[in-house]
Every structure is written in C-alpha cells, then in structure tokens.
Chains A and B, each alone.
Chain A
Amino acid sequence: MKLTGAQILMEVLKEEGVDTIFGFPGGVIIDIYDELAKTDIKHILVRHEQGAVHAADGYARASGGVGVCLVTSGPGATNTVTGIASAYMDSIPIVIFTGQVPTQLIGNDAFQEVDIVGITRPCTKHNYLVKRTEDLARIVKEAFIIAASGRPGPVLIDLPKDVSNTKITYKPPQKIELKSYNPTYNPNMKQLHRAVKLIKNAKKPLIFAGGGVVLSKGSKELTELAHKTRTPVTCSLMGLGVFPGTDPLWLGMIGMHGTYRANMCSGECDLIVAVGVRFDDRVTGKTDTFAPNAKIVHIDIDPTSIRKNIPVAVPIVGDCKITLGLLNRLLDKEDLGDLKTKRKKWLDQIDEWKSTKPLAYKQKDIIKPQYVVEKLYELTKGEAIITTEVGQNQMWAAQYYHFNKPNHFITSGGLGCMGFGLPAAIGAQLACPDKLVVDIAGDGSIQMNIQEMATAEQYNLPVKIVILNNRYLGMVRQWQELFYDKRYSGTGMEHAPDFVKLAEAYGAVGLRATKPEEVEPVLIKGLSSPKTVIMDFVVEREECVYPMVPAGAPITEMLLA
C-alpha cells in the first residue's frame, strides 16, 4: 500500500486510539490537516497554540490518557513551549506534532523555520525530528509509549513538510523496541520489607502523596494503606484527590500554603511514607529543617526524584500503584492489631491542631474569595472537575475545595503557569462531556488565554469560569504586602475588561456578584446553565492566602490568618 507521510500519521493515530486533537494549522502542515479531515478524529481549533497544549494537558489529566496537539512550524511551534514546559514539570503525557520546513531547507533560516527540537530539548521527556517518511510510524509509536509510560511527560515530533507528503510503501511497524528505555515498575522487595518494619514501629507516621499516585492510578491502594495502618495523609498540590478530602485521616495540603496541621505533622512525625512526590521547595520550605525527626520511605518511579532534595532512609523505585499494592499485601501478613491504640496519641494531637488552628477567614460585607470556593464546593458536592489559574485563586481552590477523587483537580503545579485553567478546562470537558468542569480563575490569569472562550463557544463546551476578581495580581501583591512594605509595584489590575460583557461578546453567559448574598444565586444560575459561563465575583481586594510559609523558612513556621 502506497501512503503519504500524512496518511501514515493518520493510520498510526487511529491505532493509538486518538479521538481528539487540539491544533492550529499553517503552511507546512496543510497536508496533515487535509488527511485529518478525512478521519473520525475530532479536531479542536484553539485560538492560540499555548491553549492547544494546555487543553491537551487537561484532556490527559481528566481522561487518564494521552493528549495530542498539532501545530505549524515557526511561531506555531514556539507558541507551544510554555504549555510543554508546564506538562513536563507536572509529568503529563502529551504528544505534540509540529510542522517543519522541508528537510532540504532545514538550517537555511527558511521562512517559519525554528529549531523546535533544540528549543524543547530541556522541557520534553524526549523529542524527535523525523527525517524520512520510512521512520515516521515507528517514531510516532515510540512517542506514545514514552509519553505514557514510566514517569510520563510530553514528547514532541517535528515533521518536515516533505516527510508528510512523500509517498512510500507502508508496512505497519511490528514490535517497537526501545533498548535504552526500560522504566522500573516492580519495586525491590527487600526495601519493601524494610518499609513494613518502619511503618509498624512508627509512633507518629505520616503519608505524603503526590501527582505520581494520580498518574499511576494508585488512589485506592493509597487509601487502603492509610486506613490499614491508621496513618494520617497529606498531599502536595499535585496529589490532591488521591485521598478523600472528607476522610478523618485527611490533613489537607502540605507546604507553603498547607494547613497548620499538615505542616506541623511534618515537623513532628517520626516516619514519612512519601509516594509519587519530588519534595519540591514549595513543599519542604528550608530543606535542612524539613521533617527533622522523620525517617523517610520514598516510593517513586523516577530514580532521579529520590534523594534529589531530601535524604531518604528507604528508597523504593517502582510504580506507585504496584508498590503500594505489594506493601498492603505485606502488611496484611503482619499483626497490626495494636496500631489503633498505638496511634491514638498522635491522632489526638492532630485533632487538636485541627480544632485550634483550622483554615479560616473572616466574613465581612464584602465577598471573600474563600467563601466563593466554599459555596462552589457545597453546591457541586465536591463532584466537579476543577481547573485553576495561578496565584491566590489556585491556593484557595486547593484549600477550600475538598477533592474526593483523583483526576478532579487540574492545575499547573510545577511551572505555575498563568493562563492554564481555561484551556485545561476545555480539554477536561472534552474528555468528560458529562461532568461539570469549573475553572477557578484570577482576574489576571484569565486574561492570558481568554481567547479560548471562542473555542469553548465553537464546540459548545459548557465550561464554567469562576473569576475571583480582586483587581490585583493578588499573589504577587500578597508578597509585596507581607515582605515589601506594601509597595505594590506592577500588581494593580484596575484596567480589566467588563467580564460580563466580554462573556456576552463571545456568545457566552456573563454573571456578576458584588455582595456576599449574591454569591449563591449567581453560582446556582451559572452552574445550571447549559452554556459557557463566566461568573465574575468582585472580592475583597487585599485578602491574603493563609497559612503562609515565607519562602526559604521551615514549613512549621507559618503566618496565620
């Protein structure tokens, strides 16, 4: 069978089960777009290539699968970089196809030529320049394997125009072998036995779970471990949802804006079972004062995450789900009968922290942003998929929306990329058409990819945008308030569009609340609309996110509300 590169690409995408592609066309990928239109694959035309990557990211996270993007060369390719970097830091499986000038022009500074493989080398898990049509199918298959396996991540494939329009005799590739790529899924049993011993003997243990548990789909096993051993659980921002936010053993998030009790636990505990985390500086604070009394068991599929920032007593390289499952089976053979009494003092202590220093804010006659998130949580019964922008809005979402399931909190954690939430919500809505998807946004961030309103409208995606509108780049303003004597340099955002009119201009619904008593009616009306809706909540301008650990301080030293 003679096929062009573009046709071969479609064959492989179908084989990989791709049903949705986020993209934006251009000169060198017209051949691919021409073939794409002949398939059943749904193409979502975004309004900016950064939006395509964030949308693919949201799609991957909500579905647990791989997201796919298609963009043109030059500016199309460079526009994807921020999205790729965000997906890379959060280990999200995406495959990005970029067009490239014909191979014979590469290196000549041709029109819309950039070395996107060179540019994205440090922010992709791997990338490829396809030089011959004969290599295309194999490379695409490899890319999907690499993106989704081990510690997942984005993989970019650069496709020169001649590679997509050359016709060759196509033989589907047989077995794909990656001789130098072989992630470790099964843990070392000796290390697991050591972990069992530590867990049994610990008086004040803590489970600390992160995005790795989401990615490995290990939430059930994690919950079982916590219940079996009566161990309290905290999560990094990326882990929220892997343990029920309503469980009595749940501590809330740890770190810079973690709960008082979660942060205090890390200071007091004698054992941390860390699963699928990388001990980011937003979690540890000052590293040499982090968990001073604890032995650390660290489970992660990526060996480079272990002992990168924090010394570890028991390193366990393996898939989180498999490893937790095995750990649970080993614990089943142990007599854990006395754990209930043994842990009582520890859990009592935690309850005391919880009741004396809960998450709190002061109600006033101005809308408090925390109140909006609380109401949203109540009205959606914790069932919505929440995406966020970045800043205070993101932290309030993490603190006040209590996630009960994984894959329901979608946020740019590692890169902290403003403009993520709306396109990610679009991707999540496409992955889960029957779910309520809400972007908790800031007035600053939402303007970074506001053009994707048109995408949401074009495809009838009823995503809901909740703007916590403080007319500030609030999180930066908060740092200026607390550490720069309120010198608000460059953080005032008085000049914003009228978001209600803006929504209407896009053909969406716009609603606004300016008083606390309007919050609930606006939410009820907005959430029940079948349309794309922007809800503009005019909130207290100078509200701060608490607790807060100043950057570089020990995480047990918190500023409280």
Chain B
Amino acid sequence: MTEQKHILSILVDNQPGVLSRIAGLFSGRGYNIESLSVAETTEPLVSRITMVTMADTPVVEQIMKQLHKLINVIKVHELTGTSYVQREMALVKVQAKPEHRAEILRIVDIFRCKVVDVGQGHYTLEVTGDEGKMDAILNLLKPIGIKEIAKTGIIALFREPK
C-alpha cells in the first residue's frame, strides 16, 4: 500500500507531558512525524496539535486509534480527504545584495509576503501560505541566497459548510 501525507488535528489536555506522550507513541511504534505544531485553544485547558504524518491507510487508522487511546487525548480528526484550510508560516532570511533588492521586493509583492527585518546585507521575509506557495517562493529565493529559515509546521482547520 502506498504512503500518503495525512494531516491530523488532535485536541489534547493542556498539561505538561502530553506532547511527550504523543511523541513517544510515534517513536515507540515507528510512525513518522513530518511536522507538528501545538498551541492552546480558546479553552485554556485544551491545546490543539496539528500533525502531518506519512502513512498508508491501515497505518493511519492505527495511528488515530492509538492516539485516541492516550488518556489525555480528547479528539482526533483526520483533515486529509475533507474540506479544510491549511497554512504554514516561514521566516526567511535572504541575502540582499544591492543588485537583488528590487527582485526580492517584487517576489514579496507577488506572493503577498512582508519584509519584517532589514539589515546591511539581508532582508527577513514573513511568508504565509499553503505548501504549494511555500515551495514556489522558496524555489525563487534559493538562487538569490537563503541564509536562514524558520518554519512552523502546518496548521489546519475544517472548512465550515457554506
């Protein structure tokens, strides 16, 4: 069976050790974590973990059941295969030689990013979007020279019916 990317949205008790239980479950059972993001929800006692994993169908079914079995996990949903919105954010520090500055700003404009820091020889850009957009902009910036990059994992929510 073929492995596919699955986005899981997991509501958990906002308590110390919960993330370690989840990470331990994945490492102990040999599941993989592509990305992970965690933050409190509007309810301070509950956090949302958005996780991306590569797995075939039986394995993702097993992952969801195993997650659900953890006492501190309240809900597990798979978003893949449903209608959802997803975003990722990156801070990208690019080399900004005088001859490249105009081009960088043009890319910023096209992709609706922001310049959040300007230094002697670099710009730091804030990029938000789905994976496709991320890949596209990074491909354009690479030849110009990416010095450093910090990326969040994917965060995602179901779309509400129109």
Contact = CB atoms under 8 A, between A and B. Distances in A.
Interface of A: 117-118, 121-122, 125-126, 129, 146, 178-181, 302-304, 307-308
5 contacts: A121-B20, A121-B24, A122-B25, A179-B74, A180-B72
Given A118-B20, A180-B13, A303 B65 contact: yes
Contacts of A307: 58, 61-62
Pairs of residues from A and B, 3 with the lowest C-beta to C-beta distance, nearest first: A180-B74, A126-B71, A304-B65
A179 B17 CA distance: 18
Given A302-B69, A303-B68, A304-B66, A122 B24 contact: yes
A181 B69 CA distance: 8
A117 B62 contact: no
Interface of B: 12-13, 17, 20-21, 24-25, 28, 58, 61-62, 65-66, 68-69, 71-74
Contacts, number: 34
A180 B11 CA distance: 10
A561 to B, nearest CB: 38
Centre residue among A118, A181, A302 by max chain B CB count within 10 A: A181
A307 B74 CA distance: 22
Contacts of A117: 17
Centre residue among B13, B21, B28, B71 by max chain A CB count within 10 A: B71
A121 B21 CA distance: 7
Contact of B28 (A118, A122, A129, A308): A122
A180 B20 contact: no
Contacts of A121: 17, 20-21, 24
Contact of A180 (B25, B58, B73): B73
A125 B70 CA distance: 8
A181 B66 contact: no
A117 B21 CA distance: 10
A284 B69 CA distance: 24
A403 B56 CA distance: 42
Nearest to A181: B71
A125 B24 CA distance: 13
Interface of B is mostly: helix
Nearest to B67: A304
Contacts of B73: 180
B15 to A, nearest CB: 10
Contacts of B72: 180
A154 B142 CA distance: 52
A121 B70 CA distance: 11
Centre residue among B13, B28, B65, B74 by max chain A CB count within 10 A: B65
B71 A304 contact: no
A253 to B, nearest CB: 27
Contacts of A181: 71
A126 B73 CA distance: 12
Contacts of A125: 71
Contacts of A122: 24-25, 28
A84 to B, nearest CB: 15
Centre residue among B24, B28, B69, B73 by max chain A CB count within 10 A: B69
A208 B24 CA distance: 32
A304 B58 CA distance: 11
Contacts of B65: 303-304
B74 A308 contact: no
Contacts of A118: 20
Nearest to A311: B58
B117 to A, nearest CB: 35
Contacts of A302: 69
Given A303-B65, A304-B62, A178 B71 contact: yes
Nearest to B66: A304
A185 to B, nearest CB: 15
A180 B47 CA distance: 13
A308 B12 CA distance: 24
Nearest to A305: B65
Contacts of B69: 302-304
Nearest to B63: A304
A106 to B, nearest CB: 11
Nearest to A180: B74
Contacts of A308: 62
A169 to B, nearest CB: 24
Contacts of B74: 179-180
Nearest to A131: B16
Nearest to A146: B71
Nearest to A151: B69
A448 B66 CA distance: 34
A7 B138 CA distance: 62
A122 B28 CA distance: 8
Given A117-B17, A121-B24, A180-B13, 15 more contacts: A118-B20, A121-B17, A126-B71, A129-B17, A146-B71, A178-B71, A179-B74, A180-B12, A180-B72, A180-B74, A302-B69, A303-B68, A304-B65, A304-B69, A307-B62
A96 B73 CA distance: 22
Contacts of B25: 122
B67 to A, nearest CB: 10
A547 B21 CA distance: 41
Nearest to B29: A122
Centre residue among A146, A180, A303, A308 by max chain B CB count within 10 A: A180
A118 B20 CA distance: 8
Contacts of B58: 307
Nearest to A155: B71
